[in-house]
Structure 1
Amino acid sequence: MKQIIGKYGIWNGGGLRGEDPARQGERAEAAAELEELGFGAIWLGGSSSAANAAPLLEATSRIAVGTSIQSIWDHEPEAAAASFIDLDAAHSGRFLLGLGVSHAKIADQYRRPYSALVAYLDALDEAGVPAGGRVLAALGPKTIELARTRAAGSIPYLVTAEQTARSRELLGEGPLLAPELKVVLETDPGRARTVARDCLAIYLGLPNYTNNFLRNGFTEDDLRDGGSDRLVDAVFAWGTDEQIRARVDEFVEAGADHVALQIVDGGPRSGIPRQAWRRLASLLG
């Protein structure tokens, strides 16, 4: 899997996973351009599924497409397995089934999430989905252990370089570690942090993320008023091209095999920021 997805990918929360038929051509062209720019993977945000990934795989020939994440509460494991097997047969090794437990405020069925995830993986095993074809959105130690033993690795969201290093220690050298990193292409500190806080606000209302921050050295003060500068600067890359590249490199040096880069520009989640992706490709070399 590491060879397929390379070092850098693009995480997109809405535009590329959309289902509006009128934008199908736009999504296909954008996916093809990301492949041409050299990115190794497209990660589809929200509770995405194989149905969202299929058109992008059909529009490209090499780039991988992963769900980041498919909520275990929204898709029965048998249906998820059937979709995975079909896509893998058509696009060998290029579809990555990223799974996660979502959040209690979002999923009405949210109960005993760790046990539910274990049962879901058991069902995928029975249906013939190989561990090497799935990855887990793992934040805490128990789920990271599952990512090590029951999947190809971990795709953590909204984490720091320091947590990436700790995750690597828990995973060991073999499994994939592909954290998401938000990027604001803005050099002015005030404007960059304002855009970042607008994005961060929704996550500061979700205990899975806030508890993870507290577990990793932040304090309640860091979580107030949209997030402290310390928190914002730890989970966003912003500044000059050189500064952004340096922040990405921090994650790689901390043990990330692949970094999923999310452009944050204050625009709608349905956006497809192709110009920003071109700039990212350029600054990453």
Structure 2
Amino acid sequence: MSLPGGPWGAWATGLRVRPIGEARAAAAALEGMGVSALWMTGGTGDPFDRVTALLEATSSITVATGILSIWELTPAELATRLAGLPTEGRSRFLLGLGVSHQQLVDRRTPGRYDRPLTRMREFLDELDRIRPPGAHRSERVLAALGPQMLALAADRAAGAHPYLTTPAHTRTARGRLGDAFLAPTQMALLLPDPDQARQAARRHLAPYLSQPNYRNSWLRQGFTADDLADGGSDRLVDDLVAWGDPAQVVRRASAHLDAGADHVCIQLLDPAGTWADHTIPLDAWGELAGTLTT
């Protein structure tokens, strides 16, 4: 079964974009720390060479795309790449699919981003017609924020993998998903000072504040236009990014479990960096890991 077997996962863009040797070493280290899944952003282009490398670097945990944009590969191309995964690791791969963002999709082909919910349905229809290994309903999750995509995730996938949401959203998502798998991501910083934590959090949140998908999601969650202005209000930053010592971060992440999540993908941020650095802060993970297992 490709779904994670435990409550904690590690989400890191660096697993996708850092040099392959560094990513493989980080994957092995994170597996040794006890997380049950590695969530690797799909990014742009074909991620499957990196998926293969992470599967080969680990022995027991799930490796997931979180997410692969449906605009990057056709269902037929995806089927070919899935068939090429190493046989001994294929059962540990979880396919995360999403519709990405209009700015990213239209950057190369203006006007291509159209009717994303319909396009996701069509993509799943074609996958189900081809029936490649690793893409069955029970082996895929959808990046879902709004009610319609959550309903599609419950109907056509094993569940949902929301990003940049709060425990309140998790509770709502659980109600819409029924018994389906739910794995939200929680950004986190091991910084106990509020001013330092919020300053660092804003650097990492900056690119997302202009994305309509997330802005609309936050407005549905009860935030206001004022919360989204000027780098984000303290309220928005504090609700989206868990900060503090390891025990405080784990309590914040555990709020998703209390709200109905099956698995929480922790995205530990670099206090000194920005979203563009794509670091994998293994020292911070070492601090956090002991608290996660207690």
Task: Tell me which interval the TM-score lies in, with the shorter structure as reference length.
Answer: over 0.9
SS of the residue 1:223 aligns to: coil
Q: How many percent identity over aligned positions?
A: 46
1:139 and 2:137 matched? no
Report Cα offsets for 1:140-194 as digits up to 9, x if no partner.
Answer: 1111011111111100000000000000000012x11000000011000000000
Is 1:8–1:41's contact at 8 Å kept on the other side of the alignment?
yes
Aligned-residue offset at 1:54: 0.8
SS of the residue 1:139 aligns to: coil
Is 2:3–2:62's contact at 8 Å kept on the other side of the alignment?
no
User: Which position in structure 1 is the counterpart of 2:118?
Assistant: 115
Is 1:193–1:232's contact at 8 Å kept on the other side of the alignment?
yes
Is 2:16–2:43's contact at 8 Å kept on the other side of the alignment?
no
User: Which position in structure 1 is the counterpart of 2:17?
Assistant: 18
Aligned-residue offset at 1:269: 2.9
User: Which position in structure 2 is the counterpart of 1:206?
Assistant: 211
SS of the residue 1:16 aligns to: helix
Q: Distance in 1 between matches of 2:129 and 2:118?
A: 17
Is 1:84–1:95's contact at 8 Å kept on the other side of the alignment?
no
User: Which position in structure 1 is the counterpart of 2:282?
Assistant: 274
Q: Distance in 2 between matches of 1:133 and 1:113?
A: 21
**Moved >4 Å (runs of 4+):** none
Is 1:88–1:94's contact at 8 Å kept on the other side of the alignment?
no
Aligned-residue offset at 1:87: 2.3
Q: Distance in 2 between matches of 1:269 and 1:53?
A: 20
Which of 44, 60, 63 is the aligned partner of 1:62?
60
SS of the residue 1:181 aligns to: strand
Q: Distance in 1 between matches of 2:91 and 2:224?
A: 41
Report Cα offsets for 1:114-143 as digits up to 9, x if no partner.
Answer: 000000101111121311111100001111
User: Which position in structure 2 is the counterpart of 1:98?
Assistant: 96
SS of the residue 1:106 aligns to: helix
Q: Distance in 1 between matches of 2:215 and 2:290?
A: 33
User: Which position in structure 1 is the counterpart of 2:227?
Assistant: 222
User: Which position in structure 1 is the counterpart of 2:35?
Assistant: 39
Q: Which piece of structure 1 moves more, 239-248 or 87-96?
A: 87-96
Aligned-residue offset at 1:212: 0.5
Is 1:133–1:151's contact at 8 Å kept on the other side of the alignment?
yes
Which of 225, 245, 255 is the aligned partner of 1:250?
255
Aligned-residue offset at 1:282: 1.6
Q: Distance in 2 between matches of 1:202 and 1:176?
A: 28
Tell me the number of residue pairs that the alignment of Structure 1 and Structure 2 aligns: 280
Aligned-residue offset at 1:67: 0.6
Q: Which amino acid aligns with 1:115?
A: T
Is 1:88–1:95's contact at 8 Å kept on the other side of the alignment?
no
What TM-score, normalized by structure 1, do the two folds share? 0.94
Aligned-residue offset at 1:52: 1.9
CA-atom RMSD in angstroms: 1.6
Aligned-residue offset at 1:5: 3.6
- Are the structure 2 counterparts of residues 171 and 2 from structure 1 closer, same or farther at C-alpha, using a change threshold of 3 Å? farther
Which of 196, 218, 231 is the aligned partner of 2:201?
196
Q: Distance in 2 between matches of 1:11 and 1:3?
A: 15
SS of the residue 1:107 aligns to: helix
Q: Which amino acid aligns with 2:96?
A: G
Is 2:159–2:182's contact at 8 Å kept on the other side of the alignment?
yes
Q: Which piece of structure 1 moves more, 47-56 or 217-226?
A: 47-56
Q: Which amino acid aligns with 1:124?
A: L
Is 2:63–2:94's contact at 8 Å kept on the other side of the alignment?
yes
Aligned-residue offset at 1:2: 7.7
Q: Distance in 2 between matches of 1:4 and 1:140?
A: 23
Q: Distance in 2 between matches of 1:55 and 1:179?
A: 25
1:53 and 2:51 matched? yes
SS of the residue 2:148 aligns to: helix
Q: Which amino acid aligns with 2:103?
A: K
Is 2:191–2:243's contact at 8 Å kept on the other side of the alignment?
yes
What TM-score, normalized by structure 2, do the two folds share? 0.91
Q: Distance in 2 between matches of 1:8 and 1:210?
A: 26
Report Cα offsets for 1:198-229 as digits up to 9, x if no partner.
Answer: 11111110000000100111111110111111
